[in-house]
Amino acid sequence: MTALCVRRLLRTKYLLIMKTRVLKLKTLAILLVVAVVSICLFTACEEKEDDMKRWECVSDGFKITLDMYESVNKFYTTVNNTSQMTLLLGDDSWYHFQMNGDTMTILQIGDYTIPDYYDPPRWIISKPSYNVMVMDYFGTMPDDGSIKSEYLFNLK
């Protein structure tokens, strides 16, 4: 073989090795990006699940469960009422709210958005401890005692 053929052969071999290395580096970079994105998405979903707090109010003849998502200002209610008491929270309903200090203003119940010209339901929220929450209705109600307006919830 002539020296020219040997140089061309070495040059071709060198280019092939370089192309292979570049391809490996590109593949490694793509895998790294996919791994980082997957971890970020998994962490974001996990944080949203952890955001939900389940509160439970059990009293004479009724049980109310609130699945509260404070970061997105909404909660879901499940009510089991066997008492004669009228409750201010409905069964199987999503409530969207806005907090202003210790006052929770209900903006939407299920698919029904409360119009601006109505006085929306308001609750005074107090938390005597981390695992206890008191919701006290703030508004006009009949004074005959047939409607329960204060609820004591425990964190589950």
pLDDT band at 42 (very low <50, low <70, confident <90, very high): confident
Average pLDDT score over residue span 147-156:
92
Q: Render pLDDT for 60-113 as a digit per residue (tens, 0 to 9).
A: 889 999 999 999 999 999 999 888 778 888 889 999 999 999 999 999 999 999
Look at residue 30 and tell me whether its pLDDT is greater than 70. Answer: yes
What gap in Å lies between CA 88 and CA 137, rounded to an integer?
8
Where are the domains positioned within the chain?
52-155
pLDDT of amino acid 48: 53
Q: Render pLDDT for 8-19 as a digit per residue (tens, 0 to 9).
A: 877 888 888 888
* CA atoms in the 13 A half-sphere facing the CB of 96: 9
Which run of H or E residues covers position 65? Answer: strand 62-69
Look at residue 52 and tell me whether its pLDDT is greater than 70. Answer: yes
Is beta strand 147-148 parallel, antiparallel or unpaired with respect to 86-87? parallel
Find out if CATH 2.40.128 is the number for domain 52-155: yes
Which value, to the nearest 10 degrees, does the dihedral of the CA atoms of residues 67, 68, 73, 78 take?
30
pLDDT of amino acid 73: 94
pLDDT of amino acid 7: 79
pLDDT of amino acid 4: 73
Look at residue 116 and tell me whether its pLDDT is greater than 90. Answer: no
